[in-house]
Amino acid sequence: MKRVAATLMLLALTACSNGCSLARRVWSPAQLPERAEHLIAQTSDGWDLSIIHYHPRAPLPGRRPVLLVHGIVTNERNLDYDEQHSLARSLSARGLDVWALSLRATGESAHASLIGGDHHYDWDFDTYCREDIPTALAFVQQHTGAEKVDYIGHSMGGMLYYCVLARGGPAADAIGVGATLGSPLGFRWGPRFTQLSETAALAASKLPVLKLDSITLLGLPLVTWFPEPLALLLYNPANLEESVWSGFLAVGVDDESPLLAAQFHRWIVSDRFTSRDGAIDYEALLPATRAPTLVVAGKADQLGFPPLVRRGYDALGGEKAWLVVGMENGARGDYGHMDLLLGQSAERDVFEPVAQWLAAPHSSVAGH
């Protein structure tokens, strides 16, 4: 009986996934700009990764290309929601050659299947670090001829930046200058929230898949009518328009693997940023790294809590800078987690400082 119930549940989730994928088109914001193109890079383990290339209208000579990487359970759309809310378009308008990645099973990249198919929900954070990010960096190098690629990661995308640097090798050597946005390396938010996060991650690790795209789309009316629970955790309503948030939830959220949840559970329990088997302590290896890095935290970010994001800054070797985006530092608001990309004034308060960091001279970086 249990097997029959499990099979019916999987079939229902699969059907909902297919239907919700079609329904997403109704919510999709404006199409890509004229000077953007959709490309595919393939990992060594056979996954097709979606990369959007934003050609600058007036390229700045001597500048490195820039790779953008999104966070957990999201996709490239949080890096380019529309013309007014887009880190990708902002940097491209400044003359930078921008490449926005969707990690495996997100966005327009190849997706996994619960039943049949070539790909399954069997990846973790280490897989992203070992396969997806090196593939994207090498792809950009190959297409541009650049020796170095600058890197900007939001949330888990920034954590992957730390992981790649810590592991070393060709992928780490390919990085020129980096910036992380709301990327914690500590996992102690306070007793109640830490316990809740630990329980949720453990439960998620026992599921066949974290089916978030379907659930999010089906739950949009509730999110619209009762925004406060998510707002308290994911964004500051004073900085982010409700219509943008609802639209993003419809197109910018994707499923995740239970193995990824298992790795997050390990981090929360141990408060250490390690490989899933615990053999590699990524944080402990960061002092030996030398890539110039801007570490950005939102003043009101409840996920990338500033003291936890600060751990990444403190661990890094080499040239680095620290920025808390809040009114006390001249921002137009105290930023939450998603405000860093989708906030009404993110262009001024976040994108501009990041662009300035990339443009600044860094003596340890060659290969423009």
Q: Which domain holds residue 279?
A: 37-359
Q: Cα–chain-centroid distance for residue 197?
A: 19
Would you say residue 6 lies in a domain? no
Asked if residue 119 belongs to a domain, the reply is yes
**Residue 11: inside a domain:** no
191-205 vs 258-270: helix crossing angle, rounded to 10: 150
Question: Where are the alpha helices (H) located in the chain, listed in sequence order?
Answer: 2-27, 87-93, 125-127, 133-144, 156-167, 170-174, 191-205, 212-218, 220-225, 228-234, 242-251, 258-270, 282-285, 306-315, 339-342, 346, 352-359
Q: How many separate domains does the chain show?
A: 1
Contact yes or no for 351/91 (Cβ under 8 A): yes
DSSP code at position 261: H
pLDDT at 181: 98
Q: What's the predicted TM-score (pTM) here?
A: 0.90
The segment with the largest mean pLDDT, out of 13-17, 126-130, 254-258, is 126-130
Task: Check residue 242 and give its pLDDT.
Answer: 85
Look at residue 14 and tell me whether its pLDDT is greater than 70.
no
181 - beta bridge partners?
A: 154, 296
Question: 227 falls in which pLDDT band (50, 70, 90)?
Answer: low
Report how far residue 320's alpha carbon sits from residue 178's, in angstroms, rounded to the nearest whole number.
Answer: 9
Is residue 238 a part of any domain in this protein? yes
pLDDT at 28 over 60: no
Whether residue 354 is contained in a domain is answered as yes
Residue 313 lies in a domain: yes
Q: In the predicted model, what is the mean pLDDT of residues 345-350?
A: 98
Task: Please check whether residue 5 lies inside any domain of the structure.
Answer: no
pLDDT at 349: 98
User: Within a domain: residue 21?
Assistant: no
Under 8 Å between Cβ of 70 and 51: no
Distance of CA 208 to the CA centre of its chain: 22
- Which CATH number is 285's domain given? 3.40.50.1820
